[in-house]
Structure 1
Amino acid sequence: MNFVVWNVRGINKAPHQKELHNFISVNKLNFMGLLETKVKSFNALIISKKIRKDWKWCFNYDHHYNGRVWVGWNPSVWDVSIHSLSSQVITCTATFLEKNLSFLVSFVYAHNDAPDRVPLWNYCMNLSTTSLAWCLLGDFNCVTSLGEISGGREHWTPDMQVFKDFLAHCGLGSVRTVGDREASPINKRLDRMVSDGAWFNLFTKGNAFIKPRGLMDHNAIIF
């Protein structure tokens, strides 16, 4: 069982669509969250079908004109029902059919500005009482400490503490990560996967694998 989240920074161009299609095939993926597609709503169905025509897709255009979050899945492998969605997150109840294994997963693309992220933290705190195992993965556009920044002007900001407090309040911890993010002049750990205690109990050997960027600006994360 595996699934992925990837901030693709735009998939309107044919080479990016091809790379994404091949990435899914090579890694044998059947469930995916895509962030920052930069695809307009009238093109969403056309482009999503170019990526995987046999999948079902959910978009958040009703909450943001740019469709910041897409979720796609192969219905022969996964049963996915949309729990809720907003401009920054799509949350699904997902069942891996082969094992009849169900959990809650939130694909996150947080806003750039700290005040705009507050509704996301509040939304997730309401979800934290779920009885299902729960994970969140994606681009949180924030770090918890200066240790998650290398290069550039490093300085502490209040939103780091807000993010750290949010994770603690919800009982969320980082999933064990395998692989390295590719070096660049300025690195921030914006993309991550966090989970609650029930998730760690369910997937005692689960890993979040960091994959090469390819044509994209961010690394994909495969659980």
Structure 2
Amino acid sequence: MLNTAIWNVRGLNRRDHQVAVRDLANEFRLHFIALLETRVLQNNVTRIQSGLLSRWRWFVDYAGPGNRIWIAWNDEFIDVDILNADSQFVHCRVHVHELHETVLLTVVYGANELSARRELWQGLIDLAITVGNEPWLVGGDFNAVLDMSEVSGASGDIQVAMNEFNDCILQTGLLPLPMQGERFTWHNCSLDGRSLWKRLDRLLVNDIWMERWPNLYYTCLTPRTSDHSPLVLKGDCRNMQVSLFRFDNYLALSPEFLASVHSIWRHPIVGTPMYSVTRKLKALKPVFRQQRRCKGDLAMNVKLAAGFLEVAQNILQYDRHNSLLLLLEHCCQNFNTSKLLS
């Protein structure tokens, strides 16, 4: 399926924001990414884009407020045709090579002002008429919530904004795509105790999409370097495998264990605490893998030990009087006892 991410990055001029975007693309093996609120001047576009994903194709329209929505895709996996570039959305057709499937994808970045967002709602309603029987995904930062359960903290009167957003969804026939992860996608990062959380970012689909991929869902990640969470759609959940962090307990007994953990843990990671922990655990994986190799082939040693036990049981049943002598002779002939004792 199409591995997609949409993220309000809140600026791409800073290096830590650029690193976070590259990490996101690599971690989830993305084919398509949309970046909102890039704040990059037009004369810096090429330099920033080449430093992010140099081999990918890019689209950005600086004829209007072009630093609002950037999209990029890996043309080894997908083809993208831009159908409509508006000030608050980019609408495109995406062809997935491997699946021979074509879908419509609309990236949204809603205006802050209520009156300006009305143009977005009408634009989505007009697009819905043209979609026909094609699968359609609409996602991004809508700068609006659907109900008060998507707000935590004092937010003022937002009833009119909620009503207009709900009316747009009703007229377009869009459905919420199942989501896991963070409930709120934006935080005001207040330092005076007046914290405000909202679910401003989401993915919506039409009924054709839902019928085609009924088990698909997206993940709302921790915000990382932005005040918004990245939204990641990755494959069909029936084929998704959860990657767990594992290590063999015996490695903790090695004298180099604590030194290895300390060398990774002392490096500062930009982002939320949970993101920092996740990245450090990922960095420890190759370290533990190398330590495991230095201890020999654990799987082979287990097989040898199992064989050793089986032979011992057979010999004891065959000749209890000479069991110890026969056992030692057999081990010397058939097993590398040095591996068992190391």
TM-score interval, smaller chain: over 0.9
Tell me how far 1:61 sits from its aligned partner. Answer: 1.5
The equivalent residue for 2:229 is 219
Instruction: Confirm or deny: 8 A CA contact 1:60 1:90 kept in the other structure.
Output: no
**Superposition pairs for residues 6-85 of structure 1, below 5 Å?**
6-64=7-65, 66-85=66-85
Q: Gapped runs of 5+ residues in structure 1? A: none
Percent identity over the alignment is 29
Tell me how far 1:181 sits from its aligned partner. Answer: 4.2
The equivalent residue for 1:106 is 106
Q: Gapped runs of 5+ residues in structure 2? A: 188-194, 234-342
Tell me how far 1:214 sits from its aligned partner. Answer: 1.4
Tell me how far 1:156 sits from its aligned partner. Answer: 4.0
The equivalent residue for 1:139 is 141
- TM-score, normalised with respect to structure 1: 0.95
In 2: Cα distance, 1:134 partner to 1:54 partner:
27
Tell me how far 1:144 sits from its aligned partner. Answer: 1.6
| Structure in which a larger fraction of residues adopt helix | 2
Instruction: Confirm or deny: 8 A CA contact 1:9 1:38 kept in the other structure.
Output: yes
Give the number of the structure with larger relative contact order, counting CA–CA contacts within 8 Å between residues 6 or more apart: 1
Write the deviation string for residues 145-171 of structure 1: whole angstroms up to 9, x where unpaired: 112111124544212101100000110
The equivalent residue for 2:332 is none
Number of residue pairs matched by the alignment: 222
Look at both structures and tell me which one has the larger radius of gyration over its CA atoms: 2
The equivalent residue for 1:175 is 177
Tell me how far 1:23 sits from its aligned partner. Answer: 1.5
Look up the SS of the partner of 1:99 in the other structure: coil
Write the deviation string for residues 105-131 of structure 1: whole angstroms up to 9, x where unpaired: 001001000110111111111110212
Query: What amino acid is the match of 1:193?
Result: L
Query: What amino acid is the match of 1:55?
Result: W
- Tell me which moved more, 165-174 or 147-156: 147-156
Query: What amino acid is the match of 1:105?
Result: L
- Tell me which moved more, 176-185 or 29-38: 176-185
Query: What amino acid is the match of 1:116?
Result: A
In 2: Cα distance, 1:156 partner to 1:67 partner:
27
- TM-score, normalised with respect to structure 2: 0.63
CA spacing shift, 1:25–1:148, aligned 2, 3 Å: same
The equivalent residue for 2:153 is 151
